[in-house]
């Protein structure tokens, strides 16, 4: 998978979300599904919703590292990529052309 | 006029003709039935409920009638009718009153979308409502009855109605439904409770109903702000623990226990998010120590 791939919220107009402490619950009106997202996946979704034109992996990692103060041995890029794949399976995030 | 003030024989006469029109919180139900068990149970459990004249609008016209034909004599059965149609299979005639209660629950949960409806008990003390959403077997109704026995106001044992406009809890004070072991537990804990005879061999096992306190019925027009969401979990032989619960987890449990969340769609999400955000969310594990449980809930309610 190319790191240059752009990611965006799959159906931003259909999403409603609420942050509770460090987690996010999100409702997708296009599927009728509600999801409980952990801190990283929740923040990724909020980043994508706030950037409707899309973000690539580098931009997401940079944004999340700053906002969540991620550091240490955590391989942020790998974790973000894994979360994006999970969000894609949930029809919350989608890859777009660069 | 309330049911207990009806002249002798009037309840039977109404039930056997066009039905008795009862105010159940925000709902008006017109109920008809020839069964003695329904008459006696209504006289017991709905004694403090208001009887409305036929000229008043009724949200639901329901009846519990005998299944005709040979079933009148051999293993008699009863069926629930909603606008003359039976939405469910018939049950043994001995279950006529539980069938009425379950049928009314269905009427409300399937049709009253001016509320977000959660499968949850809800009680109130010191101005704030405490909701207990839970699947069967969690001890929800047992805890509800115990709290009501010790002075909490009963808002509803089974269906929590959240007004979609105001987010306030709308009372629906009806009988508390107890099952199996909880019948004996509450009989011991609350000897003064007015309980109907136990009906055995229902789909839910043995069931009995407890009359809602008259004070709760009289305050049925007073809505309440939700202050607490408590998820009970009965764990025999485990020590009691009332611990904080992540709001996101509480939110998802409410989604699972909502009857019409998907009907309301995005609006349902926003309503739930608002009430969860404004509530203190807890998980409650207990092994049946009702007195201790009530004390813990009292402390919670009075600490705010």
pLDDT means per 10 residues, chain B with 304 residues, are 96 96 97 97 98 96 90 84 91 94 97 97 96 86 96 97 98 96 95 94 91 97 97 87 96 97 97 98 90 95 83
| Residues 221-280, chain B, touching A (beta carbon < 8 A) | 246-249, 251-252, 255, 261-262, 265-266, 269-270, 273, 276-277
Its pTM stands at 0.94
What is the pLDDT confidence band of residue A96, given thresholds at 50, 70 and 90? confident
Residue B239 structure tokens: 């020590």
Is the per-residue pLDDT at A97 higher than 70? no
Supply the pLDDT for residue B236. Answer: 79
- The two structure tokens encoding residue B106: 């269905």
Q: Where are the domains of chain B?
A: 3-111, 115-303
> What pLDDT digit, counting tens, does each position of A26-55 carry?
999 999 999 999 999 999 999 999 999 999
ipTM of the complex: 0.91
Residue A1 in this model has a pLDDT that exceeds 80? no
pLDDT, one tens digit per residue, over A55-84 is: 999 999 999 988 887 766 568 899 999 999
Q: Looking at the DSSP assignment, which residues form a beta bridge with residue B226?
A: B129
Q: Collect all residues of chain A within an 8 Å Cβ-Cβ radius of residue B267.
A: none
Q: Is the pLDDT of residue A3 over 60?
A: no
Q: Does residue A98 register a pLDDT over 70?
A: no
| Partner-chain residue, chosen from A16, A20, A34, that has the shortest CB–CB distance to B247 | A20
List residues bridging with A84 in a β-sheet.
none
Distance CA B269, CA B68 (A): 45
In this complex, do B273 and A24 lie within 8 Å of one another by their Cβ atoms?
no
């Amino acid at each position: 998978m190319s790191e240059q791939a752009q990611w965006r919220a799959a159906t931003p107009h259909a999403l409603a979300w609420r942050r509770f402490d460090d987690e996010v619950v999100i409702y997708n009106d296009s599927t009728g599904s509600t999801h409980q997202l952990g801190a990283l996946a929740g923040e990724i979704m909020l980043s994508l919703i706030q950037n409707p034109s899309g973000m690539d992996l580098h931009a997401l990692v940079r944004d999340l590292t700053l906002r969540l103060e991620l550091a240490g041995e955590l391989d942020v890029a790998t974790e973000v990529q894994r979360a994006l794949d999970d969000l894609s399976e949930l029809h919350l995030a989608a890859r777009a052309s660069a | 006029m309330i049911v207990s003030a009806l002249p002798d024989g009037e309840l039977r006469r109404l039930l056997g003709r066009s039905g008795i029109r009862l105010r159940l919180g925000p709902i008006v139900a017109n109920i008809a039935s020839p069964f003695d068990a329904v008459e006696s149970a209504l006289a017991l459990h709905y004694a403090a409920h208001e009887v409305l004249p036929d000229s008043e609008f009724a949200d639901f016209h329901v009846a519990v009638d005998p299944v005709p034909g040979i079933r009148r004599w051999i293993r008699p059965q009863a069926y629930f009718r909603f606008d003359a149609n039976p939405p469910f299979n018939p049950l043994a005639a001995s279950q006529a009153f539980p069938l009425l209660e379950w049928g009314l629950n269905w009427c409300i949960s399937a049709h009253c979308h001016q509320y977000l409806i959660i499968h949850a008990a809800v009680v109130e003390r010191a101005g704030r409502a405490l909701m207990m959403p839970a699947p069967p077997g969690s001890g929800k109704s047992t805890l509800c009855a115990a709290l009501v026995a010790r002075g909490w106001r009963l808002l509803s044992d089974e269906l929590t109605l959240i007004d979609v406009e105001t987010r306030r809890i709308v009372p629906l004070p009806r009988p508390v439904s107890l099952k199996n072991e909880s019948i004996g537990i509450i009989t011991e804990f609350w000897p003064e409770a007015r309980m109907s005879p136990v009906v055995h061999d229902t789909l839910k096992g043995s069931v009995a109903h407890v009359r809602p306190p008259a004070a709760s019925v009289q305050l049925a027009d007073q809505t309440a702000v939700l202050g607490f969401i408590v998820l009970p979990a009965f764990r025999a032989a485990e020590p009691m623990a009332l611990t904080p619960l992540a709001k996101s987890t509480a939110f998802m449990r409410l989604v699972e226990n909502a009857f019409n969340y998907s009907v309301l769609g995005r609006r349902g999400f926003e309503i739930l998010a608002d009430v969860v955000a404004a509530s203190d969310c807890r998980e409650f594990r207990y092994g049946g120590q009702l007195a201790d449980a009530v004390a813990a809930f009292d402390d919670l309610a009075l600490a705010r």
